[in-house]
Amino acid sequence: MISSDKNTSNKLTLLIDLHYFPSIPYIKELAKADHIMLEANETFQKQTYRNRCEIATANGKEALIVPVMHGSGGFIKDIKIDYSQRWFQIHDRTLRAAYGKSPFFDFIMDDISAVLARKTVYLWDLNYNMLTLCLEKLTLNKDIFESNAYIMTEDLPENVIDMRGKINPQSNQHQRQIVSQNYQQVFGNEFVTDLSILDVLFCAVLDSPQILR
């Protein structure tokens, strides 16, 4: 889906892994690109944002983790979600507790609950559904497609920016380089950075164009 001719297009394509309720830095990167290519040919990596997100609660920053089935496959599109744990109900309840008093709670919560209630089999499909929901609520219209093969960074066309693995819980160096505009959050007086885009959707969606610049 990408040309071998590095000079065929001047439009910026972002190549990135698919996350669960992506972070604000992730969405800021998407907002700058003309096209979004999701890496569909990587192996699943544990302890990344592929199956977790971080939100602000009354007790501070909290991770919401989607459990996956062991042995369900190595490639990201083969990873199945583990529904023996009632994680989806916990996520729904936690979001309602954390953001129930936010100004735009009714704007998105029912849509999130509806996606969670589908009990999607594969992690990839869940993440894709959540990403498209978030982009729709942010009115970010992007051309999104999947990679058809894994390509090394050095072999990518010049108009493709490789962000695979750059935004993750273990290394916040890149996130620190992306300064978010502060906005009113639900809890506390100290601004919490690098949260899921859910925080913007619940608290300041009308200011999202400025926050995501």
Instruction: Output the pTM of the full model.
Output: 0.90
* Average pLDDT estimate for 37-63: 96
Structure tokens at 195: 């949260």
* Alpha-carbon distances of 98 from 45, 46, 188, rounded to whole Å: 28, 26, 12
Per-residue model confidence (pLDDT) at position 120: 97
Q: Is the Cβ–Cβ distance between 134 and 197 less than 8 Å?
A: yes
DSSP letter assigned to residue 52: E
pLDDT at 174 over 80: no
Structure tokens at 194: 């690098």
197-209: per-residue pLDDT in tens?
999 999 999 999 9
Report the chain's mean pLDDT, rounded to a whole number.
91
pLDDT at 142 over 70: yes
Per-residue model confidence (pLDDT) at position 6: 39
- Is residue 188 very low, low, confident or very high in pLDDT (cuts 50, 70, 90)? confident
* Alpha-carbon distances of 155 from 30, 133, 167, 186, rounded to whole Å: 21, 32, 21, 45
* Phi and psi at residue 24, to the nearest 5°: -60, -45
Per-residue model confidence (pLDDT) at position 73: 66
* Average pLDDT estimate for 116-138: 98
pLDDT at 10 over 80: no
pLDDT at 52 over 90: yes
Per-residue model confidence (pLDDT) at position 171: 65
- Is residue 189 very low, low, confident or very high in pLDDT (cuts 50, 70, 90)? confident
pLDDT at 151 over 70: yes
